[in-house]
Amino acid sequence: MSTNDRKVPTSRALLEDLACEDLCTFDHSGNCQAHGYSLDPGEVCPQQQLKQLLEEDDLHPEYAGLSPEAKWWAEQELGSTIHYHNGFGEYVRGVVVVLPDGQRGIKPLELVGNWDNSHAGYHAAKILGDNPGWQPHISNIYEHPSFTDDRGVNPLTTVPFSKEELLEWAGARSQPA
7, burial (CB in 10 Å: exposed 0-12, middle 13-18, buried 19+): exposed
What is the closest distance, in whole angstroms, from the C-beta atom of residue 30 to Zn ion in the complex? 11
Of 45 and 166, CB closest to Zn ion: 45
Of 26 and 63, CB closest to Zn ion: 26
Residue 124 within binding range of Zn ion, rule CB under 5 A: no
Of 24 and 125, CB closest to Zn ion: 24
CB of 70 closer than 8 Å to CB of 137: no
Residue 32 within binding range of Zn ion, rule CB under 5 A: yes
What is the closest distance, in whole angstroms, from the C-beta atom of residue 144 to Zn ion in the complex? 48
Residue 153 within binding range of Zn ion, rule CB under 5 A: no
What is the closest distance, in whole angstroms, from the C-beta atom of residue 50 to Zn ion in the complex? 9
127, burial (CB in 10 Å: exposed 0-12, middle 13-18, buried 19+): buried
Residue 66 within binding range of Zn ion, rule CB under 5 A: no
CB of 102 closer than 8 Å to CB of 63: no
Residue 39 within binding range of Zn ion, rule CB under 5 A: no
- Regarding beta strands 104-113 and 81-87, do their DSSP bridges make them parallel or antiparallel, or are they unpaired? unpaired
